Amino acid sequence: MTDNKQVEKIYHRAIQLFKEGITGDKLVQESGKVETPIPIVGATLQIEGWFVGITIEKHITGFLQLAANSQLIRYSTFQRRPGSIEGCPSAEFWLDKATITNKVRTLAVAGETLTQPVLSYDRSPSRLAWLVKAVNPEGQVRAIYVTGDYVYVGSDSDDSTIGGSF
């Protein structure tokens, strides 16, 4: 799905934007770390964009969303106040697949098989969410999404408008 050259290109673009002051916050600019880019996939599992977390210690303070061609779509912050990481989510809620899978298990039903998490979106590319498909023994599929520490089942798991349907 991804190769190292793609990831490296996106990472360098994120570093460039970070150095240019995209966060607009002194604390984040001085102490923040640009994390490894994560591909955002759509219905066909093709890369539609990239998510690049910005962290301080164990917190994610914000993220860059880049198009597949590395153009900036947006920078979004989790900070409630400038100069503070209070209230910023734990980075693992957005960056760690094992944590995301464990959250999905809270909504999984006995007998369901879970796919590996992929970063996708729920209906609109602005609604980023980790997607895990839960497949029951009869082959029925449910889409389970994780956004931060919130886990939910898609309203219509067979809806082809769901970004990560596959």
Which pTM value belongs to this model?
Answer: 0.89
Q: Which pair of structure tokens corresponds to residue 3?
A: 């190769």
Q: Are 98 and 111 in contact (CB under 8 A)?
A: no
Mean pLDDT of 43-55: 94
Residue 67: what pLDDT? 97
Q: Tell me the per-residue pLDDT of 61-115, one tens digit each, with 9 for 90 and over.
A: 999 999 999 999 999 999 999 999 999 999 999 999 999 999 999 999 999 999 9
Cβ neighbours of residue 40 closer than 8 Å, sequence gap 6 or more: 47, 48, 49, 50, 51, 65, 119, 120, 121, 125, 128
Q: Return the domain boundaries, the chain.
A: 4-89, 97-153
Residue 2: what pLDDT? 65
Exposure of 155 by Cβ count < 10 A (0-12 exposed, 13-18 middle, 19+ buried)?
A: exposed
Residue 16: how many other CB atoms lie within 10 Å: 13
Three-state DSSP at 91 gives coil
